[in-house]
Chain A
Amino acid sequence: NAGVTQTPKFQVLKTGQSMTLQCAQDMNHNSMYWYRQDPGMGLRLIYYSASEGTTDKGEVPNGYNVSRLNKREFSLRLESAAPSQTSVYFCASSGDRGRRSGYTFGSGTRLTVV
């Protein structure tokens, strides 16, 4: 069981470039999430998908878009990367939106925008 798989693990972008972070889970979870982690800030929710076919904004959605491609996959897109988007990005999934059990996290994508 792979759990939550994120690709790529590392990425360097130039300001203005675009890229898509990929996330896939094999636990048949309904809900998927994208967080960013910055030093001293903990994790902040960017976007989430409560179920297949739905997406909603989290705390810090500006500059990002998401696509829930199917039940397994949830991608995060940066259309025009900015240095402020330098961060570590984590994808997570949950079978019950955290009501009875914890989230399962991927290992992260470390993104640097220069």
Chain B
Amino acid sequence: SQQGEEDPQALSIQEGENATMNCSYKTSINNLQWYRQNSGRGLVHLILIRSNEREKHSGRLRVTLDTSKKSSSLLITASRAADTASYFCATVTGANNLFFGTGTRLTVIP
């Protein structure tokens, strides 16, 4: 079964606005990762947050992790048309394999 679920399934915003995507997961994790997938392409790793971390930043990306609620959020600030893509959370559990959620499709309108 899927480890993670993203919310919303689809999000459409204007360029310059912030985009927030949420991820919930089911079991204890070692870390949680976010990936981007442009249409028809492979996945690209964006950021990794360990289970003992609460917040992490990378450029315009901000990730939070709440292990008590088994949830994470990805914030993209000042969005650009080039940010249009699907975004997936993925978790590494004790088995040390990566399990993906169902993804959020983000559309940034110029």
Contact = CB atoms under 8 A, between A and B. Distances in A.
Interface of A: 4, 33, 35, 40-45, 48, 50, 58-59, 90, 92, 94, 97-108
Given A41-B102, A99-B30, 12 more contacts: A4-B42, A33-B97, A35-B100, A42-B101, A42-B102, A42-B103, A98-B30, A98-B92, A98-B98, A99-B31, A101-B48, A102-B46
B2 interface: yes
Nearest to A6: B42
A77 B92 CA distance: 26
Given A90-B42, A101-B48, A103-B45, A42 B88 contact: yes
Nearest to A4: B42
A102 B33 contact: yes
A8 B20 CA distance: 36
Interface of B: 1-2, 4, 30-31, 33, 35, 40-46, 48, 88, 90, 92, 96-103
Nearest to B46: A102
Task: Among B40, B42, B92, B103, find the residue whose CB has the most chain A CB atoms closer than 10 A.
Answer: B42
B99 A45 contact: yes
A97 B96 contact: yes
A98 B97 contact: yes
26 contacts: A4-B42, A40-B102, A42-B2, A42-B4, A42-B102, A42-B103, A43-B88, A43-B100, A44-B100, A48-B97, A50-B96, A59-B1, A90-B43, A92-B43, A92-B98, A94-B98, A97-B92, A98-B33, A98-B96, A98-B98, A99-B92, A101-B48, A103-B98, A105-B42, A107-B42, A108-B41
B93 to A, nearest CB: 10
Contacts of B96: 50, 97-99
Given A42-B100, A43-B100, A97-B97, A104 B45 contact: yes
A90 to B, nearest CB: 6
A37 B9 CA distance: 16
Task: Among B2, B41, B45, B98, find the residue whose CB has the most chain A CB atoms closer than 10 A.
Answer: B98
Contacts of B48: 100-102
